[in-house]
Chain A
């Protein structure tokens, strides 16, 4: 009926259209899903994608979700440009939150907003250290960073659980597994009074802009891209592969750590067992949906941010489980990877003659 034929050149058009095809297919599959669950697909999709943004509150909440996505994705993008497959943004985010949060909790009596500097600083350092461990394993023992970073995500999560169940548990917290609330001096300033959106969104935008400059206007960024596209050309040009691996891992770990500490010192306000609804994993989808370009990542993080809000909305209005968010994110990645085949291949009717038989 139909068959695939390799294109002579990769299609740049398809590279841009593929995320749109994937989004459309996700909407189709989503409406089938909703109707099977007995809901009107139109109304459900409206509730999922449109309703969350119908008021100012919705838009500010979107900013809350988008900030950590942008921070994590900006860093992951650098890793993926160099084909260093860091899957560990989630763990780096958690360790960042834990390290920065710990510093914040140690000085409950500070009376100055300058306290935020060491708190954020240790958040960044925590994420960097966690990513650095994976970088060390990779450069020293040639371990596969995909495996190490995934495993370290779980270690980080259990580290956080230990902390909030043990040493960092609020003594006056009725035995809930939570730390004490951060003082107002270690809480991130909000952008508008009465809304939760805080300056972390500015960090996210700044990180995206900075990553664009690094990748497109500096030699280190160029070296990352060369290493990702052609290892032996990078070796021939004399780029130090280990140094590139270390740099991208530390930068992305630092940004994920910053995302983590911004979550706890921002919208959450204390250390709790669940800091992130999978921001570190979702950021991977963001990077690929955004075509590994900082501008694309900006739009992709907004779309994925909406899936978090939409999931909460349908949970409230239709009594559906919150895992619907993960379902939509998964479908999006699935359809994206499937559509990406059109970049390298084109579809022809099977009876049309091809150029080459072999």
Chain B
């Protein structure tokens, strides 16, 4: 593959296709076994990230490398070679100049922990720009941003490109690639499977190059109408006790039987706390959670499970599953409440058989019920975890980011399972950052921001713009947008 100057080039592929590996090779983190990299007409071996930066290659990783307790300027100073900054105040001026030039507001004296994720990303970008780079690599930069922040990022990237800086944009979100990129290279299982001009190629064709099998790329599901209320949350309040926990204020919503209820929001806005209050890991002092007409109070997690509340948390390894334990043991982890243990005695034969059934029905690729959880790929492990929870025949299933970091095939299967559960008349609550997914599956939607919940509406009545505004905390935006929609109509 080759990249021209001033080009915005997308690297597309499923999880595990080799996108990040390829970028790490270009940035000098990993050495290639064979092959050549030609940089500005010279073949060279990139010795490491420092060397890459010297050459003018900058990279913004998916997970930022910033020190929370230091200021913006201090963080940037740490990564610069000494001769590039005479003093912090000098550097601050430079930061302000650059950030204004590209329309990125950034206060060099603020501490990282006080910045939003989007602002932290700007710090990373400014850090690269300060070194006069001619190639900027961005590894899934939009996965942590709200729609508005994504728009801003795209503006910045377009400006950069117009000044001659090449950009490598790694993503698996096709719509973004089509909106932003001039060219795209598609990877599958470590090989280039195609190139295209995204603006002139249909989503289906690009997706076809990304996934191997000819399975339907994206399903659309009919919406459903919820029936009886299963879970009701009435003015839930939660005072954060841990240092970085988010307090929740006056959260009210209900989830009905036979519907999927979605809560959108950028991670770290109180979703984790809400989830733990629902599962009973945190004690809800406001006693605001009503399940099947009864207040749950401080009922422990095991009792809530027995009453039919199943949960799929966000972290697959290290919460949903114990990495070093077998799938059979991980099945028992939550299955003990639903008949997998006989008065405290364990019959491993039964547990293994039950586990094999889950592996089969959810098409989990593994070496069997004795495989360690950590040996499974993310998608397969998630299929197993969802299968485990559904096998317990819950009346309410709570899922957090059910298809996060999962390849398209597995994601489709997981969504099918959830829809089937919905159509069987069960209540499902989905908490996610993935807006496409929420629009695809949910019957009703709302958003969470800073521990506050937005108004709730039917998915088909909520525009992406409105949801985006809700996600950034503008809850009264509802009228404005509907009026806008009306005037358009």
Residues of A in contact with B (beta carbons under 8 Å apart):
9, 216-220, 222, 225-226, 229-230, 232-233, 235-240, 356-358
11 A-B pairs whose Cβ atoms sit less than 8 Å apart in the complex: A217-B348, A219-B344, A222-B336, A225-B325, A230-B318, A230-B324, A237-B302, A237-B334, A237-B336, A238-B303, A238-B304
Q: Is the CB of A218 within 8 A of B322?
A: no
Main secondary structure of the interface of A (DSSP, over half): helix
How far apart sit A233 and B316, CA to CA, in the bound complex (Å)?
A: 10
Contact of B346 among A222, A233, A357, A358 (CB under 8 A): A222
A344 CB to nearest chain B CB (Å): 12
Say whether, besides A220-B344, A357-B30, A226 and B336 are in contact (CB < 8 Å): no
A90 CB to nearest chain B CB (Å): 30
Over the window 273-316 of chain B, the binary record of Cβ atoms lying under 8 Å from chain A Cβ atoms (1 yes, 0 no) is: 00000011100000000000000000011111100000101010
Using Cβ atoms and an 8 Å threshold, which residues of chain A touch B281? Answer: 235-236, 238
Over the window 327-354 of chain B, the binary record of Cβ atoms lying under 8 Å from chain A Cβ atoms (1 yes, 0 no) is: 0010011101100010011101000000
How far apart sit A237 and B338, CA to CA, in the bound complex (Å)?
A: 12
How far apart sit A179 and B325, CA to CA, in the bound complex (Å)?
A: 51
Say whether, besides A230-B323, A357-B30, A217 and B280 are in contact (CB < 8 Å): no
A3 CB to nearest chain B CB (Å): 16
How far apart sit A190 and B183, CA to CA, in the bound complex (Å)?
A: 86
Contact of A236 among B301, B323, B346 (CB under 8 A): B301
Q: Is the CB of A218 within 8 A of B300?
A: no
How far apart sit A16 and B386, CA to CA, in the bound complex (Å)?
A: 35
Say whether, besides A238-B300, A238-B301, A358-B29, A233 and B344 are in contact (CB < 8 Å): no
How far apart sit A357 and B279, CA to CA, in the bound complex (Å)?
A: 42
Taking residues whose C-beta sits less than 8 angstroms from the other chain, chain B's interface range is 35 or more
Say whether, besides A218-B346, A230-B323, A235-B281, A357 and B48 are in contact (CB < 8 Å): yes
Say whether, besides A218-B346, A229-B322, A236 and B313 are in contact (CB < 8 Å): yes
How far apart sit A236 and B300, CA to CA, in the bound complex (Å)?
A: 11
Q: Is the CB of B305 within 8 A of A233?
A: no
Using Cβ atoms and an 8 Å threshold, which residues of chain A touch B324? Answer: 229-230
Closest to A214 in B: B344
Q: Is the CB of A236 within 8 A of B341?
A: no
Q: Is the CB of B345 within 8 A of A233?
A: no
Residues of B in contact with A (beta carbons under 8 Å apart):
29-31, 48, 279-281, 300-305, 311, 313, 315, 318-325, 329, 332-334, 336-337, 341, 344-346, 348, 375
Using Cβ atoms and an 8 Å threshold, which residues of chain B touch A222? Answer: 329, 332, 336, 346
A8 CB to nearest chain B CB (Å): 10
Closest to A10 in B: B324
Using Cβ atoms and an 8 Å threshold, which residues of chain A touch B345? Answer: 217-219
A239 CB to nearest chain B CB (Å): 8
Given pairs A219-B346, A226-B325, 18 additional interface contacts (CB within 8 A): A9-B375, A218-B345, A219-B341, A229-B324, A229-B325, A232-B318, A232-B319, A233-B322, A233-B333, A235-B281, A235-B301, A236-B279, A236-B320, A236-B333, A237-B333, A237-B334, A237-B336, A238-B281
A2 CB to nearest chain B CB (Å): 21
Q: Is the CB of B315 within 8 A of A232?
A: yes
Q: Is the CB of B346 within 8 A of A238?
A: no
Closest to B329 in A: A222
Q: Is the CB of A233 within 8 A of B30?
A: no
B288 CB to nearest chain A CB (Å): 20
A185 CB to nearest chain B CB (Å): 38
How far apart sit A147 and B331, CA to CA, in the bound complex (Å)?
A: 36
Q: Is the CB of A233 within 8 A of B319?
A: yes
Q: Is the CB of B315 within 8 A of A238?
A: no
Q: Is the CB of B319 within 8 A of A236?
A: yes
B24 CB to nearest chain A CB (Å): 9
Closest to A9 in B: B375
A229 CB to nearest chain B CB (Å): 5
Using Cβ atoms and an 8 Å threshold, which residues of chain B touch A220? Answer: 344
Instruction: Kindly list the 4 A-B residue pairs having the minimum CB-CB distance in the complex, ordered from nearest.
Output: A238-B301, A238-B302, A230-B322, A219-B341
Closest to B30 in A: A356
Closest to A232 in B: B319
B93 CB to nearest chain A CB (Å): 34
How far apart sit A225 and B315, CA to CA, in the bound complex (Å)?
A: 20
Using Cβ atoms and an 8 Å threshold, which residues of chain A touch B311? Answer: 236
Using Cβ atoms and an 8 Å threshold, which residues of chain A touch B323? Answer: 229-230
Using Cβ atoms and an 8 Å threshold, which residues of chain B touch A217? Answer: 345-346, 348
How far apart sit A239 and B30, CA to CA, in the bound complex (Å)?
A: 42
Using Cβ atoms and an 8 Å threshold, which residues of chain B touch A233? Answer: 318-322, 333
How far apart sit A235 and B346, CA to CA, in the bound complex (Å)?
A: 20
A291 CB to nearest chain B CB (Å): 14
Closest to A230 in B: B322
How far apart sit A229 and B324, CA to CA, in the bound complex (Å)?
A: 8
How far apart sit A220 and B344, CA to CA, in the bound complex (Å)?
A: 7
B293 CB to nearest chain A CB (Å): 22
